[in-house]
Structure formats: structure tokens, C-alpha cells
Structure 1
Amino acid sequence: MENIINAIYNIVWSDALVYLCMLSGLYFTIRFKFPQIRYIKDMITLLFKGGKSEDGSESEKGISSFQAFSLAISGRVGTGNIAGVATAIGMGGPGAVFWMWMIAIVGSASAIIEATLGQLYKEVKDGQYRGGPAFYILKGLNNKPFAWAFAIVTVLSTGFLLPSVQSNSISIALESSFNFSPITTGLCLVFFLAIIIIGGVKRISKVAEFVVPFMAGSYILMAIVIIGFNISQIPAIFSLILDSAFGGHAAFGGIVGTAISWGVKRGIYSNEAGQGTAPHAAAAAAVSHPIKQGLVQGFSVYVDTLFVCTATAFMILFTGMYNVENPAGGFIVQNLPNAQMGPEFTQYAVSQHFPNIGSAFVALALTFFAFTTIMAYYYIAETNISFISGKRKNTLLLWGLRILILVSTYVGCVTTAKDVWTLGDIGVGLMAWLNIIAIIFLHGKVYKLMQDYDSQKKQKIDPKFNNSLYQFKNANFWNKHD
């Protein structure tokens, strides 16, 4: 079974996917004239708008832009920001950090495209806004088998494969810091997760709205303090990252290809740009123009990778609390002989400056990060169950999903890290393949939407999309905005 899993992994995560993610993001960046930079001001301003019905009251069917941002961030900010960054460094050396930055910058353009499409082709189902890649593949490409393939892969990935990755990292961190048994951790996670997911998207987004800013802010604040303690080392750390990324470092020069592969791989896993997860949260927002939520989601990639992932990387590299494996066997660097690759690198790093609370702080931060990610995974899986169910609400499938994600969360706590990460990578990779191909075919529609947005901005009016001017087929939700 392990050989089969590894064979599937090697096919899904061949160099072709790495190049596809990088080159598609680069193409979107050039085609749309660097939207991830041009619209920075709009991204921040739009964070705190939306969520209203046309009469000005709070939308009963949708959530606010900030809630959608928080829901997407809860999916993006997870173990990838702590354990994933550590793994990237452990496998690809410090140079992997540079390639995480690159995939974040070009990936932000991909995130804008996919989130805008999520908004354009959303619909009202079960009394709330629903949308995502399965919806825009079906409606935009008129390809039902393709849409169903994405929906099924996503349900399996976010409902079964990926939650175990998050809970596994929680289990390792809590056992290391507080000596909690994996069984106890698993039961506690299942209990609290069950309470939240039964409440649906409104409850999930409300929890995310309060927890996400607190957890990300606290973690970045801790990183800023540690960076302040080591401010004189910043030029040396940047030099180490850049030299390692391009083969100039004596120790890491031989693993440049590995650094690129792991940097891109962990970058995608962390910020999820182009993967197809964030469009589900984007579609749930009540906004007046699809581009508005696209820009908000583009900014969420920056928060995830340029802020949170960089914070983790700097803490680890400042303190030297990491190992780097040699692809040929053994280690290039082994500063922590007994450490398991993952969150322990970050725990050791923070403990260097805060011996009494460092390990516990990282464990708690990881717990919040990973738990909110599992919440977001449930919402994504539920949205695709809704797509598969069609016009009728399938209660049996819905409860089957809830049981599946709770079982996956528990199993992740009591299994080995290597197994769950490999399965999680397969899930992420399959979703990325399908979604990126879809948005490449559909990005022309987003180009027209961005022209419409820019035109209205130049006229000093708040952009509102009117589909009667463009007649995008199957974008029925926007037909009423006359």
C-alpha cells in the first residue's frame, strides 16, 4: 500500500505540476498587469466592506468580505505555516523559503482569478450562497464530467485526506509540549469540531472571524519580538536564503532543484493559491462585484505566506534550529539530532528565546491554526456535497461527510506524520491540477470583469456588476443587478 501511495504521489507531484503552478501564476500576473500589486490599496479597503443585501440590511444568504477573508485564511493558515515551512527547510534547505515567496507573489494572481470566478458563477442553495470550482467548471466550461471530477476529488481531499494532516500536527505538538496523549487530543478535537460544523457556514464564519485575527496576530507578534532580538542578523538570513535558492551556498548548492520543488510544494499547500479551496469561501460573500472578492482573496495569500510563513522561517533560521536532509542519504545539516521534522523545529526556535513558554506557545498556535483549517475543509467539502446533490438537499450525504471528517480528524491524531502528509499532498495536488486547468480556460471572463471594475472606478462610482451588459452564460445570480 505504501508503494502504491508513493507511486501516485510521484505522478501527481511531478515537476509538471510545479511548472504549471509557477508558469500559470506568472502568465496571469503579466496578462492582468500585476493585479496583486496594482490593487493593494483596494484589497485592504475591500476587506471591511460587503455582507449587505441591496436594501442595506445584513445579508441572510451571504457573509461579509471580512468573514469570507477569515474563512479563507482559516483554510490557508494551518500546519503549512508552522510544520510545512519547517518541512520545506528540512527537505530543501533555506533556499526553499525564497521559492515559497515566489509562489505566493505569482500565486496571488491565480487566487484573484479563481475567487472572482467563484463569485461570478455562485448560486443560492439551501438558503445561502454556494460556489466554487465545480460550479464554474460546469457553468463556465459546460463540462459536467470535469466538474464532477473536481467535486469528488475535493470531497475526498477536504473531507478525508487533508483533515488528518492538520490533526496530526496538533497531536504531535500537544504531546511534545503538554504530554497529551494522541487519543485524548483526538477526542477533544472531534467534540469541538462537531459542535461547530453542525452550525453550517454562518457558525463557521463567525468562529473564524474572531479566532483568525487573534491567532495570526499573536503569532506574528511573537515573530516580530524574536526578529527584534536578532535584528542584526537579517542581512545574513536574507543572504543565506538567496544564496541557497540559486546554488551559491556551499552546503546547499547541490539541492537547488529540491529547494524549488519543496518551496513551491509547501507554498501551494500553505497558501492554497490556485488549488481551488478559497473560491468556496469567496462565493459565500455578499458583494456587489465579483472582482471585489477576488482582490480580497488575493490579499489573503500575502497574509498567509509573506507574513505568517516568513515569520516561521525567520524564527527557525535565526536560531539555527533545523535539520536539512541530503537526498542522497543522511543530513547536510543536523542541528537537532532527535527532532522530528515539522512543528518541533519551530518549537525549538521559539524556546531559544522563551524557554518557559516557547514550546507551549507554538503548540497552542498550531492548534488554533490547524483547527480552523479543518473547519474550512468541512465547509469546502459540504459545498461540493451540495453540488453533487443537485437541487435536492441530501441529508444522508451531509451526515456521511460529517462522520467522515470527524473520523479523519481522529485518525490523524493517532497515525504517523509521514503517511498523512503524503496522502494530504496527493489531495492538494489533484485539486490543483484540475482547478488550474479550469481557470486557464476561464480567465478571459475575469479579464472582462476587471475591465468593467476599472471602468467604474475611473468614473468614481462604487463598482456593481450588471451581467446584462456582458451576457455571461449561466451567471444567473448577477442578472438581477440592473
Structure 2
Amino acid sequence: MSFDTIISSINNILWGEGQVLIYVLLFAGFWFSFQLKFLQIFNFRHMFSVLKQSSKVDDEKATNSGISSLQALFIGLSARVGTGNLAGVAVAISLGGSGAIFWMWVIALLGMATGFAESILGQLYKVSDEHKEYRGGPAYYIQQGLNQRWLASLFSVCLFLGYGFSFSAMQANTIADSLNHAFNIPSFYSGAIITLLAGTIVLGGLKRIARFAELIVPFMGLAFILVAVVITLMNLSALPSMFYNIFSSAFGLNEAGAGMLGAAIKNGIQRGLYSNEAGAGSVPHAAASARPVPNHPVTQGYVQMLGVFLDTMVLCTCTAVIILLADLDVSGEMEGIRLTQNAITYHLGENGVYFVSAAISLFAFTSVVANYAYAESNLHFFKLDNKLGRTLYTSMYLAMVFWGTSASLTQVWRMADVALGLMTLVNVIAIVQLTPTIVALTKDYNAKRNIANSSNKEMAFKAKDIKPQGRLSPGIWPDK
């Protein structure tokens, strides 16, 4: 049995006929929405209130041991905002029709609660390494919260295969394809430049990655939103028809969507997950690295929940509007970044291809860099957080980035789908088991928030405030 056959078989179980991940993610989204009383809707405004203080670190002494919540948000967005927003949306539309966008919105709304749950666990069970930087994520809360070392190790292996290698290769593949389409740059040369730039940033450690994300993510996000707004204003008369087509196709109500209902649901949820990563267990690594203000695990839950909203409900919708307002023939075959390029060229003329090439290069490159940080945080879990371990991991990571620029689109996407699917399955199993701790943390935050609002006192979490499952790392959370 060939490697491609094995990958295709696993994908068929997770995403294809078996659709295991579809049901798992929908269950997780509904489960945490219910358990947390639909806080993604009723506490929507509070996300932005938390964001106001997110650029601060809890105290001056802590600046050497953690990054700010805002930097953690930008690292999370760096990984989220990538090919999923541009190429992934195009893949969803080409394979599932316009109705796939509706299901992408659904999984994002539900995923906000899932992202909240996993992020507060990342914060609660974080540890401090020898460099006085915080590390955390599913492997840590699985081991410390559930005492299941084998499951934690399985997640870490999937993380290395996914974010350490496959995802970075896929992002590099999209950059190379975009640059080749726009400027006829051979993949070998673009691969060499991407690898060199990535190496320069990641070798500077977590704080250099955080500073890079803080500079690039807001700039590229706002620029893309501005272009989408301009294109929307240019096509205002077509908006009602576009939205009608999205909703009618989502439920198979029109002639074009009648035979594509299953494809719309499957591709919308699959690409929505790939873009916002809610439930995949990736963003808790960024959440764990922060020293939030106020110093409570739930603070990072709100910050990273906002990341899900910005990624899918804002940026993915911008891409969908750009594609659906263009008069293009979507054939039903898998199309990636070139569909997005052709759509922007349709609206803005030949110069549009240069803009989207620059956009995808920035979007995907930030993901390449953030992916490194996610996997690198698990070196500490295996006690490989040393010079030899980092050198071996960094060398393999950069080799995969370079290889990805010349690999085939279908091959790379399939590998990424398998890694993401296995990570998500393990992570959702873990966070559902940790629901009592998630609910207790949220109730503690709400109680402290009410007291702080009435008495103007600062709120903070202490280790004795709840009875978490398992154990917390000593010295992370104050006892008094």
C-alpha cells in the first residue's frame, strides 16, 4: 500500500464518507456553547473590553516570563490567517459551492466556544521553562489535568507532523504557486528565500516571533479588509443576489445546490476548521505563552475567541465576497489561490493579481513562522528543549518548508488534513473530559468580574480558587 493510499484512506474516515470530524466538531461546538451558556453571543461585547487591556503584561517583573495577551492574539492570528483565508475559502467554494460559506460561518460561531474552552485550559495548565518563558497546550493539560501521558504524547506527535512539518510545507507551497503565477518566479528560488527568512525569524525565539506577528498581522489584515470593502461597494447591486445564493445553496434549495448539500456542509466545515483552528488544539499554545491582564486564565479565552471571529467571520467572509461577486466559472474541481487571484483580477484589473500575491505571501508566511512556535513549545514536553533538540527540529522544519514549495497542491493539502484531523480528534476528547474545570474557571471569572465592577478592585486568579482536575504546575498561579 502506497503512502498516498494510506493518507487518502485516513482522510476518507476523518473527512470523507466517515465524516468523523464533522460530527466531532459539531458536537464540541454545541457542547461548549451549552455548557458556557452561549457566552460567544451573550458576552460578545466583553471580548472587545478584554482586548483594551491586552497590550499590557500583568506586572513589570513578569515581562521576562510571558508575552502580552495582544501578542498572543497576534501569534494565534498569524497561524490562523493564512492559506485557509484565501486558498481555503476558494477550495470550499470550488468543491462545495457558495453554500459552503454558510457552513463555514456556522462552524466559526460554534467554534468560538470551543476555542474559548481550549484556550483557558492552555493558560491554566501552563508551565515555565528554563528560559522563563511559558509553555502550554493540549499535551500539557492532557498530562496534568487527565494524567494521560500516552494521549498527550499522541497529540504532540500529531502536532509535530502537522504544524511542525505539513502545514508549513503547505503554506510555503501556496506562496510559491502565487509568486509563480504573478511573477513567473521559479519555485526553487522562492523556496530558498522563504526558508531563509523563516529561519532568520524563528531562530530568535518566541519573543521575536511575537514582535514579528505584532507588526505584520494588523497591517495585512486591515489592507485586505479595505480591498474587500472597496470591491463590495463597487458591486452593491449584486449583494442581495449573492447572499440569497449562499443561503439557498447551503440548504440545497436551488437547482445548482440541490446535488451539492453534502459537499457544501463538508467543505464549509472542513475549511472553516482549517482556517480558524477552533478545537484543533493549536491556539492553546499561543494562549499559554501570555501573562494576561487581568491575570486570570479566562482572559485568554476571550482574547482567542475573538481571534476565531476575526479569522472566519471577517477575513474569510471578505475572500468569499470577492470570489462570489466575480463572474467566474467555478468548475467543481479543486481550486486554490489562483481562484482568489482571478477573482481580484476580475474586479481590479491586471494589478489585482499582484495585490493578492503580496497578500497571500504575507498571510501564509506569518503562518509558517507561527507554526514553528506551536510545535517548538512541545519540545519541552519531551525534554528536548535543549540545543540538540532545537537544532534537529529547526533543521527538519526548514527542510519541509523548502520541500513544500515544489510539492503538488493535492498531496500537501491531504497531508495537512490528516494531521489536523488527528490533532482535533485527540484534543476534543481531552477538553470534553475537562469540562468541569472549564465551567468552574468561567464561573470564577464571572464572579470576580461582578465584584470588580461593583468595588473597582482588580481581579486575579489564585490556585485555591477552584478545584481543578489533576494538578497545576507549582509557582505559576499565586496561592494567596
Deviations 1:435-482, CA, capped at 9 Å, x for gaps: 011111112211111111111111124431112132434223454251
- 1:47 offset after TM fit, Å? 2.1
* Equivalent of 1:4 in 6, 11, 17: 6
State whether structure 2 residue 105 is matched by structure 1 residue 98: no
Question: Could you say what secondary structure the match of 1:273 adopts?
Answer: coil
State whether structure 2 residue 298 is matched by structure 1 residue 302: no
Distance across 2 between alignment mates of 1:304 and 1:51: 20
- 1:243 offset after TM fit, Å? 0.6
The residue type paired with residue 65 of structure 1 is S
Map of 1:321 onto structure 2: 328
Deviations 1:50-85, CA, capped at 9 Å, x for gaps: 565654456111111110000000010110000000
Map of 1:280 onto structure 2: 285
Q: How does 1:234-313 map to 2 (within 5 A)?
A: 234-287=239-292, 288-313=295-320
Tell me which moved more, 58-67 or 165-174: 58-67
Distance across 1 between alignment mates of 2:429 and 2:188: 40
- 1:356 offset after TM fit, Å? 3.3
Map of 1:421 onto structure 2: 413
Map of 1:409 onto structure 2: 401
Distance across 2 between alignment mates of 1:75 and 1:463: 30
Contact 1:18 1:264 in 2 (8 A): yes
Map of 1:441 onto structure 2: 433
Map of 1:22 onto structure 2: 26
State whether structure 2 residue 214 is matched by structure 1 residue 209: yes
Contact 1:51 1:62 in 2 (8 A): no
The residue type paired with residue 423 of structure 1 is M
Distance across 2 between alignment mates of 1:224 and 1:322: 23
The residue type paired with residue 337 of structure 2 is P
Q: How does 1:91-240 map to 2 (within 5 A)?
A: 91-126=95-130, 127-240=132-245
Distance across 1 between alignment mates of 2:57 and 2:234: 48
The residue type paired with residue 81 of structure 2 is V
Distance across 2 between alignment mates of 1:369 and 1:468: 42
Query: What percentage of aligned pairs have identical amino acids?
Result: 38
Contact 1:39 1:295 in 2 (8 A): no
Contact 2:126 2:476 in 1 (8 A): no
The residue type paired with residue 318 of structure 2 is A
Question: Could you say what secondary structure the match of 2:434 adopts?
Answer: helix
Distance across 2 between alignment mates of 1:57 and 1:231: 52
- 1:100 offset after TM fit, Å? 0.4
The residue type paired with residue 475 of structure 1 is L
Contact 1:9 1:426 in 2 (8 A): yes
Map of 1:451 onto structure 2: 443
Distance across 2 between alignment mates of 1:299 and 1:117: 16
Distance across 2 between alignment mates of 1:52 and 1:81: 29
Q: Could you tell me which runs of 5 or more consecutive residues in structure 2 were left unpaired when the two chains were aligned.
A: none
Could you state the TM-score of these two structures normalised by the residue count of structure 2?
0.95
Could you state the TM-score of these two structures normalised by the residue count of structure 1?
0.94
- 1:377 offset after TM fit, Å? 0.7
Contact 1:51 1:59 in 2 (8 A): no
The residue type paired with residue 116 of structure 1 is I
Contact 1:89 1:322 in 2 (8 A): no
Contact 1:108 1:298 in 2 (8 A): yes
- 1:197 offset after TM fit, Å? 0.4
- 1:354 offset after TM fit, Å? 1.4
Residues 50, 314 of structure 1: alpha-carbon distance in 2 compared, 3 angstrom cutoff: closer
Q: Could you tell me which runs of 5 or more consecutive residues in structure 1 were left unpaired when the two chains were aligned.
A: 326-330, 332-339
Question: Could you say what secondary structure the match of 2:128 adopts?
Answer: strand
Deviations 1:374-428, CA, capped at 9 Å, x for gaps: 1111001101112111xx7332221111111111111111111010000011111
* Equivalent of 1:72 in 51, 65, 76: 76
Distance across 1 between alignment mates of 2:178 and 2:312: 21
Moved over 3 A (4+): 50-58, 476-479
Contact 1:151 1:384 in 2 (8 A): yes
* Equivalent of 2:45 in 41, 45, 58: 41
Residues 394, 234 of structure 1: alpha-carbon distance in 2 compared, 3 angstrom cutoff: same
Distance across 1 between alignment mates of 2:355 and 2:215: 19
Contact 1:100 1:267 in 2 (8 A): yes
